[in-house]
Amino acid sequence: MSAPSSYESTLLRTARWRPWEFVIWAVAFALPLVMPSHSLLVNEIAIVALFAMSLDLILGYTGIVSLGHAAFFGFGAYAAALFAKLVMPDPTVGLVIATALSALLGLVASVTILRGSDLTRLMVTLGTALLLLELANKLDWLTGGADGLQGVVMGPVLGLFEFDLYGRTAA
């Protein structure tokens, strides 16, 4: 293998963790403990941050410009909610099932998404998202359609920790 170019060296140098980044992560993990009355808001911020990181991963590492990555987020949410409603209400198992089903959907969608160039990929990801949106709307007997999924009750996490109205768990 050849020696890294100056561009690669710059990328490697900028990819290193800086000390202030550890402080940001420590604050993020401590925030629910420091401000328990705002734990629901902190959870929502964490969900949106993870969603933004997913876009960064698909765009940054693979170079795929996507207009449809939110479809996989929504598909996973529906999968977890339907699993909780129809099979078992444990959120941890639902999360694993939703992850597996979303990965399987990604595998199926990747056959068409990875074939084209940038503009083609952009349109195929948009088309995939629109197809999933229409499926969610048309299968209203399953998904609730435009009204949303009703009647989902989450059970205790790992069978031990109940949720309260504010999104906190307790034994």
Max CA separation in the chain (angstroms): 59
The DSSP string of 147-171 is G---------BTTTBEE-TTS-EE-
Question: Residue 103 is which amino acid?
Answer: A
Return the residue matching tokens 């109940």.
Answer: 162
Q: What is the pLDDT along the chain (171 residues), one digit of tens a residue?
A: 566 667 666 666 666 777 888 888 888 888 888 887 887 788 888 888 888 888 888 888 777 778 888 888 889 999 999 999 899 888 889 999 999 999 999 898 888 877 877 788 888 888 889 999 999 899 888 888 888 888 888 777 777 777 665 656 654
